Structure 1
């Protein structure tokens, strides 16, 4: 069994009809979903499943076996009958904040070229990236440069390359602790800016906004020393 990942084709889809393949306390498995399963520092989506005679709150979406997505029921929620048709609906406000945050972290990467990313976490209220870097730029400079990139309204797109092509371009991989998933024969690249001169281009499986202006105002709030050459950079969506 596999789950068709509708968010890959359209990250702005807020809901879909789906068939229940399995249901238990470990989660509900659907044949298709708009829910992003937690991975790569991006939290799993929350929302609800509705069917004739019942509904279930989804506490979080997680990866299941064999390219499936498990929709974890909130405590006390009923489970849909296996074989039934449900309506899967996202908590869109939360997902959209994650999309804005995730795209901002890619822009942050572009401002610190050459430094490997040693960790990261996307949150609705605050996000961070860790860099293998002795002396990071000042948080005020980073905030100003992020504002300029966001205001430039760069398009955000994607393309796929083969694993062999990625092997020939190792500089595309910025993360040191987590490598792009392999085994499917191809890898998804997320691009910010024009194809011939991207602001940022790197492997990523997460969801993003269509253009940088959609992010809104952001602020780098804090820099932390997390080791000999590990510098943590925190960002927030400002004014919200």
Structure 2
């Protein structure tokens, strides 16, 4: 299995790696990687792989292979037909598109703050470079866009620490309230589950994504829109505050 370097240090921008396999569809499997694969509402990383000869193989996305569970780096063939793929055993430098990843990290952490501000079950979510959202089963509650925006920015301004640790599957079973997502269960199978903790009592829940170290890194936020998605379901969309007019 690929060593997931991004899991321990989300700030790694590149690493040395060896090509372990090339899939039938041309996906590249490395022995270790800094590329985050699509999961938990967070898009997979893009970037480049650079073999010793200096070629730059563009990677459009990164995904988990459904059958093997391997992390697959998907080459970008949009601009030219058939980029030359490195052979098995080739040493490469793997470099992510850091600007894109860092925005995902900021957005993903912001959604943890949104979970803290809206204490309801989460029925869905999606992370993007410009806009992210969570869907909540709010029951009889009402949500106010300006109030949520103010509470989010208060948490950002407080420069709260964000950390990760691991618990066993059994520990999670004994603490089911840690799971906020109603439709998607935390990833299991490895015998342990990763928890993301914001401050001492702001938010604590299982999550495999990438996050910033302190809430101040997120920057000012704005709730751009709250959508009615059913009798009990509300979709809360957030954007970075400097993205004026990008509310859709």
TM-score range (shorter-chain normalised) is over 0.9
Residue 119 of structure 1 pairs with residue 124 of structure 2: yes
CA RMSD of aligned residues (A): 1.1
Q: 2:72 aligns with which of 59, 63, 70?
A: 70
Separation in 1 of the partners of 2:207 and 2:127? 13
Separation in 2 of the partners of 1:85 and 1:164? 39
Matches within 5 A, 1:147-166: 147-166=153-172
Q: Which residue of 2 aligns with 1:230?
A: 233
Matches within 5 A, 1:1-240: 2-24=1-23, 25-53=25-53, 54-64=55-65, 65-75=67-77, 76=81, 77-113=83-119, 115-134=120-139, 135-194=141-200, 198-240=201-243
> Over residues 216-236 of structure 1, what are the superposed CA-to-partner deviations in whole Å (9 max), with x where a residue is unaligned?
011001000011211000000
Separation in 2 of the partners of 1:81 and 1:166? 41
Separation in 2 of the partners of 1:163 and 1:29? 28
Tell me, which stretches of 5 or more residues in structure 1 are unaligned? Answer: none
The DSSP-based 3-state class of the residue aligned with 2:103 is helix
Count of residue pairs the alignment pairs up: 235
Query: Which 4+ stretches in 1 moved above 3 angstroms?
Result: none
Give me the TM-score of the superposition, normalised by structure 2.
0.92
1:185 CA displacement: 1.2
Give me the TM-score of the superposition, normalised by structure 1.
0.95
